[in-house]
Structure 1
Amino acid sequence: EQIGGLMRAINAFSGTPVVRCAMLLQAYTATRPGETRWAEWDEFDGDLWRIPAVRMKRRLLHVVPLSTQAQAVLDDLRHFSGAGTLLFPSARDRRRPISDAAVNAGLRRMGFAQDEFTGHSFRSMFSTIANENGWAPDAIERQLAHVEGNAVRAAYNHAEYLPQRREMLQWWADWLEQMAEACPLRK
């Protein structure tokens, strides 16, 4: 119920469209807030987002499959972010992204407390729901770009699980839409 209310609130968000799109892209991709904020248009090719190693916590290239919903967010975003390099430019300086507090401020503005949702909450929400619905833990962890805890396994397993992650993220985006339609808007 909370997730549906969150998605409905984001869809109805009356704040900056760029911040709304940042929230949606984070929700649909389960990427870290910094990875999303600093995203550049040239990282996107069709239904893939290639996040450069320099922006990743593990310092490895991260390939993110994009659901049809995430691609629609990108299409909408082009109208708001202009012809610049960044997807989420700051209104004050278009060479810089929105602040790291912008998404959290948007969530507070919609009435969600810090202990309910933050920009990072989209990741834990995704992990919990995907695991509860039987998706492969390796694919989930790869989508979250987590470090493999087992050193031997990390040395040998370099799988991207791209087909599984593509299917999983489309399922996830569809599920989020269903939750938004099923739950009343939070007041």
Structure 2
Amino acid sequence: MKMKRAHDVPLARQVVEKLRELKRINSGPFLFPSGGKGGFITAEGLRKTLIQIGYAKEKICIHGLRATASTLLNESGKYRPDVIETQLAHSNKDAIRAAYNHAQYIPERQKMMQEWADYLDRLRAGE
């Protein structure tokens, strides 16, 4: 994590299935290996891979994907902003609230991520 703190991430069943697939394919210690010095893919490496498979440079960036998800989840009105911000590992700007509130909102985040994955599946299916 960028902030050097643990961040539990609830995953949708579709993501778990893909990760299991990757584990079967990759024999090394990383699910997303890279030839770089760290041995695992970075955000920039992911961006370059997305460009190589057909996305134009100006059309894709990892931050943009996160911003799009945040915007759509907030606009849906189905999820509390705290839940969305926690999922994105954003820190609370209110120092007093951050000092007292250490909630992880795991059940709500799990539901949100499953609904998000289902939404992406519908988009991919052209619905």
Q: TM-score, normalised by structure 1?
A: 0.61
1:104–1:118 Cα contact (<8 Å) kept: yes
1:86–1:95 Cα contact (<8 Å) kept: no
Partner of 2:3 in structure 1? 58
CA gap of 1:115–1:95, structure 2 versus 1, over 3 A, is closer
Which of structure 1's runs of 4+ aligned residues deviate more than 6 A? none
2:51 and 2:64 map into 1 onto residues whose CA distance is 13
**Aligned residue identity for 1:141:** E
**Aligned residue identity for 1:170:** Q
Q: Provide the identity percentage.
A: 40
Alpha-carbon RMSD: 2.0
CA gap of 1:67–1:137, structure 2 versus 1, over 3 A, is same
Q: Write the deviation string for residues 15-50 of structure 1: whole angstroms up to 9, x where unpaired.
A: xxxxxxxxxxxxxxxxxxxxxxxxxxxxxxxxxxxx
Gaps of at least 5 residues in structure 1 are 1-55
Higher strand share: 1
2:57 and 2:117 map into 1 onto residues whose CA distance is 24
Count, aligned residues: 126
Alignment of 1:125 with 2:68, yes or no, is: yes
- Superposed displacement of residue 133, structure 1: 0.8
The match for 1:69 among 14, 19, 23 is: 14
Alignment of 1:138 with 2:82, yes or no, is: yes
- Superposed displacement of residue 95, structure 1: 6.8
Gaps of at least 5 residues in structure 2 are none
Partner of 1:116 in structure 2? 59
Partner of 1:155 in structure 2? 99
2:99 and 2:43 map into 1 onto residues whose CA distance is 33
Partner of 1:171 in structure 2? 115
**Aligned residue identity for 2:106:** L
The match for 1:102 among 42, 45, 59 is: 45
CA gap of 1:103–1:147, structure 2 versus 1, over 3 A, is same
